[in-house]
Protein backbone atom coordinates (compact mmCIF):
# COMPACT_ATOMS: atom_id res chain seq x y z
CA UNK A 1 0.00 0.00 0.00
CA UNK A 2 1.12 3.48 -0.94
CA UNK A 3 1.25 6.69 1.07
CA UNK A 4 0.87 10.21 -0.23
CA UNK A 5 0.94 13.75 1.03
CA UNK A 6 -2.27 15.76 0.59
CA UNK A 7 -2.63 19.38 1.66
CA UNK A 8 -5.58 21.75 1.74
CA UNK A 9 -4.02 25.06 0.64
CA UNK A 10 -4.68 28.39 2.45
CA UNK A 11 -7.59 29.28 0.11
CA UNK A 12 -9.23 25.90 0.77
CA UNK A 13 -8.86 26.23 4.55
CA UNK A 14 -10.26 29.80 4.49
CA UNK A 15 -13.23 28.69 2.38
CA UNK A 16 -14.06 25.86 4.78
CA UNK A 17 -13.39 23.05 2.30
CA UNK A 18 -11.26 20.86 4.61
CA UNK A 19 -14.16 18.67 5.76
CA UNK A 20 -15.45 18.11 2.22
CA UNK A 21 -11.96 17.07 1.09
CA UNK A 22 -11.46 14.65 3.99
CA UNK A 23 -14.90 13.21 3.25
CA UNK A 24 -14.03 12.50 -0.40
CA UNK A 25 -10.85 10.65 0.56
CA UNK A 26 -12.66 8.66 3.26
CA UNK A 27 -15.48 7.74 0.89
CA UNK A 28 -12.93 6.51 -1.65
CA UNK A 29 -11.74 4.02 1.01
CA UNK A 30 -8.41 5.66 1.83
CA UNK A 31 -7.00 5.81 5.37
CA UNK A 32 -5.90 8.98 7.15
CA UNK A 33 -2.59 8.39 8.93
CA UNK A 34 -1.62 11.86 10.12
CA UNK A 35 -2.95 15.43 9.93
CA UNK A 36 -2.16 18.88 11.24
CA UNK A 37 -3.30 22.45 10.71
CA UNK A 38 -0.15 24.55 10.40
CA UNK A 39 1.27 27.69 8.85
CA UNK A 40 4.31 26.89 6.70
CA UNK A 41 7.47 28.97 7.08
CA UNK A 42 9.31 29.99 3.87
CA UNK A 43 11.95 27.32 4.33
CA UNK A 44 9.36 24.55 4.46
CA UNK A 45 7.51 26.05 1.48
CA UNK A 46 10.65 26.38 -0.65
CA UNK A 47 11.58 22.78 0.08
CA UNK A 48 8.05 21.59 -0.70
CA UNK A 49 8.03 23.37 -4.08
CA UNK A 50 11.76 22.92 -4.90
CA UNK A 51 10.96 21.51 -8.37
CA UNK A 52 9.56 24.96 -9.24
CA UNK A 53 12.43 27.04 -7.82
CA UNK A 54 13.51 28.35 -11.23
CA UNK A 55 9.99 29.23 -12.42
CA UNK A 56 9.05 32.92 -12.68
CA UNK A 57 6.11 32.40 -10.31
CA UNK A 58 8.15 30.71 -7.55
CA UNK A 59 8.11 33.77 -5.26
CA UNK A 60 4.34 34.22 -5.65
CA UNK A 61 3.79 30.52 -5.05
CA UNK A 62 5.74 30.63 -1.77
CA UNK A 63 3.96 33.87 -0.75
CA UNK A 64 0.58 32.23 -1.31
CA UNK A 65 1.29 28.90 0.39
CA UNK A 66 2.67 30.68 3.49
CA UNK A 67 -0.18 33.24 3.57
CA UNK A 68 -2.29 31.29 6.08
CA UNK A 69 -2.79 27.90 7.65
CA UNK A 70 -2.76 24.76 5.51
CA UNK A 71 -4.24 21.40 6.49
CA UNK A 72 -1.45 18.86 5.91
CA UNK A 73 -2.31 15.15 5.73
CA UNK A 74 -0.80 11.74 5.08
CA UNK A 75 -3.18 9.27 3.40
CA UNK A 76 -2.68 5.60 2.56
CA UNK A 77 -4.28 3.27 0.03
CA UNK A 78 -4.00 1.24 -3.14
CA UNK A 79 -2.37 3.29 -5.95
CA UNK A 80 -3.19 6.39 -3.94
CA UNK A 81 -0.67 8.66 -5.67
CA UNK A 82 -2.23 8.17 -9.09
CA UNK A 83 -5.82 7.95 -7.84
CA UNK A 84 -5.57 11.05 -5.64
CA UNK A 85 -4.24 13.09 -8.58
CA UNK A 86 -7.34 12.02 -10.54
CA UNK A 87 -9.60 13.01 -7.62
CA UNK A 88 -7.84 16.40 -7.36
CA UNK A 89 -8.04 17.24 -11.07
CA UNK A 90 -5.85 19.32 -13.35
CA UNK A 91 -4.03 22.47 -12.26
CA UNK A 92 -5.83 24.80 -14.67
CA UNK A 93 -9.53 25.64 -14.13
CA UNK A 94 -10.14 25.24 -17.86
CA UNK A 95 -8.92 21.62 -17.68
CA UNK A 96 -10.10 20.43 -14.26
CA UNK A 97 -13.18 18.30 -14.89
CA UNK A 98 -16.43 18.55 -12.91
CA UNK A 99 -16.44 15.83 -10.26
CA UNK A 100 -12.82 16.47 -9.34
CA UNK A 101 -11.99 18.59 -6.28
CA UNK A 102 -10.50 21.42 -8.35
CA UNK A 103 -13.20 21.04 -11.01
CA UNK A 104 -15.89 21.48 -8.36
CA UNK A 105 -14.25 24.09 -6.10
CA UNK A 106 -11.36 25.94 -7.81
CA UNK A 107 -11.50 28.65 -10.44
CA UNK A 108 -7.89 29.83 -10.36
CA UNK A 109 -4.60 28.27 -11.41
CA UNK A 110 -2.74 30.04 -8.61
CA UNK A 111 -5.20 29.36 -5.81
CA UNK A 112 -6.45 25.87 -6.45
CA UNK A 113 -7.54 24.54 -3.04
CA UNK A 114 -5.46 21.37 -2.75
CA UNK A 115 -2.06 19.78 -3.33
CA UNK A 116 -1.26 16.11 -3.88
CA UNK A 117 2.14 14.46 -4.41
CA UNK A 118 2.84 13.52 -8.04
CA UNK A 119 5.28 10.60 -7.55
CA UNK A 120 6.62 8.15 -4.96
CA UNK A 121 9.77 10.25 -4.59
CA UNK A 122 7.92 13.52 -4.01
CA UNK A 123 5.48 11.81 -1.61
CA UNK A 124 8.39 10.60 0.54
CA UNK A 125 10.11 13.98 0.47
CA UNK A 126 6.91 15.91 1.22
CA UNK A 127 5.85 13.61 4.08
CA UNK A 128 9.34 13.99 5.56
CA UNK A 129 9.15 17.78 5.19
CA UNK A 130 5.87 18.01 7.12
CA UNK A 131 5.83 15.07 9.50
CA UNK A 132 9.38 13.68 9.51
CA UNK A 133 12.40 13.55 11.72
CA UNK A 134 13.51 17.14 11.03
CA UNK A 135 10.21 18.44 12.31
CA UNK A 136 9.96 16.03 15.22
CA UNK A 137 13.30 17.27 16.45
CA UNK A 138 12.19 20.88 15.84
CA UNK A 139 15.41 21.62 14.00
CA UNK A 140 13.91 23.56 11.10
CA UNK A 141 15.15 26.97 12.20
CA UNK A 142 18.73 25.73 12.59
CA UNK A 143 18.77 23.70 9.40
CA UNK A 144 18.55 25.95 6.32
CA UNK A 145 16.94 25.04 3.02
CA UNK A 146 20.32 24.82 1.23
CA UNK A 147 21.52 22.16 3.63
CA UNK A 148 18.34 20.15 3.41
CA UNK A 149 18.63 19.39 -0.29
CA UNK A 150 21.28 16.79 0.37
CA UNK A 151 19.25 14.92 3.03
P1 LIG B 1 0.38 21.00 -6.72
O2 LIG B 1 -0.42 19.83 -6.25
O3 LIG B 1 0.15 22.24 -5.90
O4 LIG B 1 1.83 20.66 -6.88
O5 LIG B 1 -0.23 21.35 -8.16
P6 LIG B 1 0.03 20.61 -9.53
O7 LIG B 1 0.93 19.43 -9.34
O8 LIG B 1 -1.28 20.41 -10.18
O9 LIG B 1 0.78 21.72 -10.36
P10 LIG B 1 2.34 22.05 -10.45
O11 LIG B 1 3.13 21.17 -9.53
O12 LIG B 1 2.72 22.11 -11.88
O13 LIG B 1 2.37 23.54 -9.89
C14 LIG B 1 2.39 23.76 -8.49
C15 LIG B 1 1.49 24.91 -8.14
O16 LIG B 1 2.05 26.10 -8.65
C17 LIG B 1 0.10 24.87 -8.77
O18 LIG B 1 -0.83 24.13 -8.03
C19 LIG B 1 -0.29 26.33 -8.72
O20 LIG B 1 -0.86 26.63 -7.46
C21 LIG B 1 1.03 27.03 -8.85
N22 LIG B 1 1.16 27.61 -10.18
C23 LIG B 1 1.23 26.97 -11.39
N24 LIG B 1 1.35 27.86 -12.38
C25 LIG B 1 1.39 29.08 -11.79
C26 LIG B 1 1.52 30.43 -12.28
O27 LIG B 1 1.63 30.67 -13.46
N28 LIG B 1 1.52 31.43 -11.32
C29 LIG B 1 1.41 31.18 -9.99
N30 LIG B 1 1.42 32.21 -9.10
N31 LIG B 1 1.27 29.94 -9.49
C32 LIG B 1 1.26 28.91 -10.38
MG1 LIG C 1 2.80 19.48 -8.29
What CATH number should be reported for the domain holding residue 27?
3.30.70.141
149 within a domain of the structure (yes/no): no
Assess whether pLDDT exceeds 50 at residue 151.
no
Catalytic residues, which ones?
115
32 within a domain of the structure (yes/no): yes
**Ramachandran angles phi, psi of 105, nearest 5°:** -125, -15
133 within a domain of the structure (yes/no): yes
ipTM over 0.90: yes
121 within a domain of the structure (yes/no): yes
Closest ligand to residue 101's CA: 1
Structural domain of residue 120, as residue ranges? 2-139
Number of compact structural domains in the chain: 1
89 within a domain of the structure (yes/no): yes
Assess whether pLDDT exceeds 70 at residue 147.
no
**Rg (alpha carbons) of the chain, rounded to whole number:** 15
pLDDT in tens, 41-51: 999 999 999 99
Q: For residue 91, report the distance from its CA to the centre of ligand 1, in Å.
A: 6
Neighbours of ion ligand 2 (CB under 5 A): 118
What's the pLDDT score for residue 133? Answer: 73
pLDDT in tens, 74-126: 999 999 999 999 999 999 999 999 999 999 999 999 999 999 999 999 999 99
Amino acid sequence: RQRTFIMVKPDGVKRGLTGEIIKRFEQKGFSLLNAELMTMDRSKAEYHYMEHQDKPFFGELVDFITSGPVFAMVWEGENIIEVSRLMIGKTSPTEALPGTIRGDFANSKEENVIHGSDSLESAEREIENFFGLLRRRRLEDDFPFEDRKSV
